[in-house]
Structure formats: C-alpha cells, structure tokens
C-alpha cells in the first residue's frame, strides 16, 4: 500500500478465517488494500455442502458493479473482479449468499479498498463552520461549571472516584465518572467517550485507567445519570431517546448531536481545570460514536495532544448524495425530497467528522474495518485525508463493526501500546 505523507500504516491484521460462517472469505492479498489498476480478489471456501452460491460486489457500499454465480461444489475458489479504469479509488463491499442443503440462506461478507490515500471528502464544510463552533465554545465557557460532585467507593485503594455533574448550555447537564490516583499530584488527562446507545456507565473503566496513572473522565453521551436501573435506560431508549442521533437534523441548533458534543466539550474543559491535570497531556479516546466524539473534541480543542478513534462514526453523514454509504447515523435519505436532502446535507456539515478532522492538530491513531457497513471505510478514509497531523492506521480486512472472531485484534493490541506512548 502506498501511503500519503499525512499518515503511516503501522499494522495490518493478517486475516483469519471466521469459523462460524458457512462460507469463509478473505482477501487474496491478505490486506484487502489495492492500488489503482490492481484486480481485487477474494478466496472463497465453503465449510459445508451448498446448493447455490452467488455474489454481489458493491462500489462504496451502494452500487452493484458486478454480480453472478459461484460454484457451490468447489471447496476453494478465487473470485477476481477487474475494476473499470474510470474507478480510481473507493471501497468494495462483497456480499456472498450461500444456500444450504436445507434451503436456508446465509450472507457472508468481504471487503477491499482501492487507492485509499486518494479518497477525499464529497462536500466542503459550511462557510461558517469555525464561527459556529467558536461561538458554542465561548458560550459554554462563559457559564460556570456549577459542579455537583460525589465521591464514590472505587473498589481500588489506590484510586479516587467521583460522580460529576456539570452545567452546560440551555439548562442541560453533562454527567461523567472522574478518577485519578491517590498518590501523586500531576497526571496526564484522558477523555473517554462512549459508543452509541442508552445505557449506564460502569465505573470499572475509569478506575482501571486511573490505576494506570491517568486523570480520566468518562462522559455519558446523554443528560442522564450514570448508574440507574436497566429499566430506567430501556424506557429512555424506547421513549425520548429513540433514534436520538438523527433528532433535530433539519436545524443545527436543535440537533441532538449538538448537545452530545457540548457534553463532551464541557467534561474536557472540567478535566483541564483540575489541579491534578499536568497541563501537558490530553488524549481523547473512543470507538464508534465515541470515536466520532474523539475526532470532534480533538478538532475543537487545541490542548488535545493525542487522539484515538476506533471505527469512528459520523463520517460523511450525507455520503449517499455522492454515491457512498453514509457513516452512522446517516442523515440524508436517497429517497427523500430534494428540499429535505439539501437541508439535512447543510445541517449535517456542521456535525460531520470529516470537517472536524481538518482542524485536528494532535497525532492520531485510527482503526477501521473493510466489512464495516455502520462506519464505512470510504467515510473514514475521507476523514483521514483531512488530518494534518501524523496519523497511524490499522486496517482490519475481515472486521465488521462489532468485534467477531478476533477481527479487531490488531487494533486492540496496537492501541494499548499507542495509549502508553501518548501518556508519556
């Protein structure tokens, strides 16, 4: 893989066979990364007798560019798909449908990326993007934290733990766990940001990080307490927070993502206000929605010294308008009226991770999967192209959005090392 000067690839997961699948698929070249003009190929291995085997290959996860039958009787075969010369870069998503002898079908997936360093954003950032966020940041910092702090038993004799509630804009609040070592007076800062959903935050995560020497804050995405009953969160999820990520998507002031970002900003500011912070090291860390917030905060706060974003969401929220699969939560429907598409595209521009990435100054570490349909590779590479700082990337060729069969192992292994490096 040829690399642009803006990022380096430190580790590629050597693909493993997914044992639970009726058909096993892996990129023929191991990495799933191809240059322009290469012929992408996958090794296909049925693990049980089949009556039919068919495939579809989608460009950027949206448009079928090749399809056809495969031989269900072969125990091993290679699917090679020449790509038209007009396609110079992009993400290939392979969907294989296997029909078993009992008549049931199963879908299995493969992925590849072509010339990833050439993938660029589909749309420009709004002209007043920086002005909008500077105003939000200034308004937020103009009000007192008004912290409500309760110390909680950490379960670790070497760590102090606090349940913290902070005032944000419009009467909303940010809730977070805060922890740091009992011994010492000056610690590197770590902001932990959560994946999507409505759920309690376990205190164990911050206690563990604090035991490693961090002043750490773990931010609840919603204006909700940290540790209520499961029934409490279930009612929120099915009630006012149902589909929260696209709420208010036609007005930037009403967008739910605005409040989500403000809570992360507020919690970061609070950590940096504490005497326990060493004033030098500040790392943002998260996966999926948390990876999105990690990019956002790193783009908005110049104090951030390191950014870790795994399978980051929020990249190319309106990608469907440019022929690409959208990153979660995907704001623009292809079948929506033209006027609605224009509005959601404009508003989405203020919240797209691609536009925050262009403002990131800190070194970045990013993981992405080539069969991730929730946070597609095109959007993530589009975001990466905007980073101006040194960037290390782990490409996981067999990885869906959720960890399965060790497909995210390379990221997890390297991220542990990177976090220690960023802590120094």
Residue ranges covered by each domain of the chain: 14-116, 129-423
Predicted pLDDT of residue 234: 98
Q: Per-block average pLDDT, block size 10, for the chain (424 residues)?
A: 37 40 94 94 95 96 95 95 86 97 95 96 97 98 98 97 97 97 97 98 97 98 97 98 96 97 98 98 98 98 98 96 94 87 94 98 98 97 96 96 94 97 94
Chain centroid to Cα 293, Å, comes to: 8
Q: Cβ distance 219 to 264 under 8 Å?
A: yes
Show contacts of 244-253: CB within 8 Å, 24+ apart.
244/198, 245/196, 245/289, 245/328, 245/329, 246/329, 246/330, 246/331, 249/331, 249/344, 249/347, 249/348, 250/340, 250/343, 250/344, 250/347, 251/347, 252/132, 252/347, 252/350, 252/351
Assigned CATH for 14-116 = 2.60.40.1930
Predicted pLDDT of residue 68: 96
Predicted pLDDT of residue 334: 81
Distance (Å, rounded) from C-alpha 348 to C-alpha 378?
A: 17
Predicted pLDDT of residue 6: 36
Predicted pLDDT of residue 392: 97
pTM as predicted: 0.94
Predicted pLDDT of residue 87: 84
Instruction: Identify the architecture of domain 129-423 in CATH.
Output: 3-Layer(aba) Sandwich (3.40)
């Amino acid at each position: 893989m040829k690399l642009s000067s803006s990022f380096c690839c430190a580790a590629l997961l050597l693909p493993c066979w997914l044992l639970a699948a009726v058909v096993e698929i892996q990129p023929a070249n191991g990495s799933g990364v191809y240059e322009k003009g290469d012929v992408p190929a996958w090794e296909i291995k049925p693990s049980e007798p089949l009556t039919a085997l068919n495939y579809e290959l989608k460009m950027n996860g949206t448009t079928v560019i090749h399809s056809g039958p495969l031989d269900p009787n072969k125990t091993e075969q290679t699917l090679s798909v020449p790509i038209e010369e007009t396609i110079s870069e992009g993400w290939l998503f392979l969907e294989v449908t296997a029909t078993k002898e009992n008549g049931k079908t199963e879908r299995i997936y493969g992925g590849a990326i072509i010339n990833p360093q050439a993938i660029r954003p589909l749309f420009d950032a709004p002209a007043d993007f920086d002005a909008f966020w500077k105003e939000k940041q200034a308004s937020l910092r103009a009000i007192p934290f008004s912290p409500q702090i309760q110390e909680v038993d950490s379960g670790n004799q070497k760590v102090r733990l606090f349940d913290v509630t902070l005032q944000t804009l419009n009467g909303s609040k940010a809730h977070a766990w805060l922890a740091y070592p009992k011994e010492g007076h000056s610690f590197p800062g770590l902001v932990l940001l959560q994946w999507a959903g409505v759920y309690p935050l376990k205190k164990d995560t911050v206690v563990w990080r604090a035991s490693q020497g961090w002043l750490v804050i773990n931010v609840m995405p919603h204006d909700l307490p940290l540790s209520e009953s499961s029934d409490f969160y279930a009612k929120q999820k099915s009630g006012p927070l149902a589909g929260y990520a696209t709420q208010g998507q036609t007005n930037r002031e009403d967008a739910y993502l605005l409040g989500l970002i403000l809570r992360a900003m507020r919690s970061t500011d609070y950590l940096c206000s504490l005497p326990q912070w060493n004033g030098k090291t500040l790392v943002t860390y998260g996966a999926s929605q948390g990876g999105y917030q990690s990019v956002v905060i790193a783009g908005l706060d110049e104090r951030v010294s390191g950014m870790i974003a795994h399978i980051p969401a929020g990249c190319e929220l309106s990608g469907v308008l440019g022929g690409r699969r959208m990153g979660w939560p995907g704001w623009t429907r292809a079948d929506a009226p033209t006027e609605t598409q224009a509005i959601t595209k404009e508003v989405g521009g203020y919240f797209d991770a691609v536009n925050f990435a262009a403002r990131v100054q800190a070194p970045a570490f990013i993981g992405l999967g080539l069969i991730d349909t929730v946070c597609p590779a095109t959007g993530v590479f589009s975001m990466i192209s905007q980073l101006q700082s040194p960037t290390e990337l782990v490409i996981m060729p067999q990885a869906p959005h959720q960890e399965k069969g060790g497909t995210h192992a390379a990221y997890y292994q390297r991220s542990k090392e990177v976090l220690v490096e960023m802590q120094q």
